[in-house]
Amino acid sequence: GSTVGILGGGQLGRMLALAGSALGYRFVTLDPTPDAPCGQVARQITAAYDDREAARELAGQADVITYEFENVDAGVADMLMRESYVPQGSRLLYTTQHRLREKRAVEAAGARVAPYTEIGSERELREAAARFGLPCVLKTATGGYDGKGQFVIRSEEEIPEAYRLLSRAGTELVLEQFIRFEKELSVIAARSPRGETSVFPPAENIHVDNILHLSIVPARIGGDVRREAERLALRIAEGLGVIGLIAVEMFLTADGELFVNELAPRPHNSGHYTMEACRTSQFEQHVRAICNLPLGDTSLLTPVVMVNVLGEHVEPLLARMARPDETAAKLGVAPKVHLYGKREAKSKRKMGHINVLAPDVDAALKWIAETTIWKV
Ligand code: ATP
Ligand code: MG
Ligand code: MG
């Protein structure tokens, strides 16, 4: 069997390795934290992500290399390409590492994004904010996640502070018009080297404090919106020449328009629902795509709500798991727990998730509301 190397050993790498092991692949991961979530289920090389020698060792042990985050150092990416096989290529990383390049690529693929402009000075920010109107959102072009690296500007007085805080990151800045969305959706598409594509059912996502809280599937949207969201994700997969997965985050407005927010060229938190709720999980599909196996069937088997387990939820969850779950029995739901094996349950840290399989999404939402783990 072949060995797959994963740059990054977090939960995404772990779930990739678990899914790929079932297909007979072996896994090796590179991560700076000893005993990382992926390292517990695969061989681990413990070193910094930008350590060239360690990356060379990874390349030496792997027949195929992938990554679980997009901020891969360009030098390391080049080296891995020379010394091993990186089917996703460096172009996809180059595009999705940088919000401006990503937005241009999304537009070139024929999808809409919120009006945006590059910002090089406080004066430019002032002028652009006047053009877009308030509120608007200032973001660092690189490195942001979970809402870090962005500032929602709600009044003119906040402009100097927003500029000062974000320009400290030392990357380009992007200003976006604020989209008054009705829902946030995400769609994960896959494409393989033989050009086969597939798309998973759209998820309706609810964030709390900028961190994903729930993914609801089927999303509570009409058939036209669903088809359009799937079409956009497939167009982006084709347009960017994606190999592997591409997760497409979108805003849906009241008049039924879809704007693409951002992309991720990897498994995505909003796709964890696929693990039990689809015939093929996003992790299996990614392994299939990068290994050029035929893609799997993405059909939905059951309604599902995925709820994230953060550090503060671990103790109440473990207490809940130790007792019979009468609420689940009453509602006819099956909560499938996934924990990532992280030792320190720090507040806001992603420790696991639960896929609540249910006869309909309302029953799953009711279980989440009646379980005293999430206090929102
Ligand atoms: P992620 O953890 O998803 O990578 P991120 O830090 O890269 O997050 P974004 O996804 O760009 O940030 O934005 C985080 C959230 O902020 C979005 O999910 C959305 O709720 C809100 N948001 C971002 N941009 C806009 C916008 N232009 N208009 C309205 N809301 C926005
Ligand atoms: Mg992001
Ligand atoms: Mg996002």
How far from 143 is each of 200, 270, 357, CA to CA, in Å?
Answer: 27, 19, 34
* Residue (of 73, 68, 89, 62) closest to 3 by Cα position: 62
Parallel/antiparallel/unpaired status of strands 3-7 and 26-31: parallel
User: What is the assigned CATH class of domain 3-86?
Assistant: alpha beta
Say if CB 177 and CB 135 are below 8 A apart. Answer: no
What pLDDT was estimated at residue 74? 86
Where are the domains positioned within the chain?
3-86, 115-177, 183-370
The DSSP symbol for 145 reads B
The residue whose CA is least distant from atom 13 of ligand 1 is 147
What pLDDT was estimated at residue 116? 98
* Distance, CA of 128 to CA of 139 (rounded, Å): 13
Average pLDDT over residues 18-40: 98
Dist. CA 317 → ligand 1 center (Å): 28
**Whether pTM exceeds 0.80:** yes
User: What is the assigned CATH class of domain 115-177?
Assistant: alpha beta
* Distance, CA of 54 to CA of 90 (rounded, Å): 19
Parallel/antiparallel/unpaired status of strands 26-31 and 43-46: parallel
The residue whose CA is least distant from atom 5 of ligand 1 is 145
Helices (H), the chain: 11-22, 52-61, 74-83, 91-96, 99-108, 122-132, 159-167, 223-239, 274-277, 282-290, 314-321, 326-331, 361-370
How far from 161 is each of 122, 146, 249, 348, CA to CA, in Å?
Answer: 10, 20, 28, 25
Dist. CA 306 → ligand 3 center (Å): 17
pLDDT surpasses 70 at 56: yes
Domain 183-370: give its CATH code: 3.30.470.20
- Ligand 1: atom nearest CA of 99 is 11
Say whether 183-370 and 115-177 share the same fold: no
pLDDT surpasses 80 at 250: yes
pLDDT-derived band at 87, boundaries 50, 70, 90:
very high
Average pLDDT, the chain: 97
Dist. CA 261 → ligand 1 center (Å): 7
SS3 211: strand
ipTM value? 0.99
Name the residue of 150, 187, 248 whose CB sits within 8 Å of the most ligand 1 atoms, as the mutation to test its pocket. Answer: 150
Share of the chain above pLDDT 70, in %: 99
DSSP states along 57-83:
HHHHH-SEEEESSS---HHHHHHHHHH
Structure tokens at 278: 């689809």
- Cα 280 off chain centre by: 17
Contacts of 227 (CB under 8 A, 6+ apart): none
156-171 confidence digits (pLDDT tens) = 999 999 999 999 999 9
C-alpha angle 38/44/49, rounded to 5°? 90
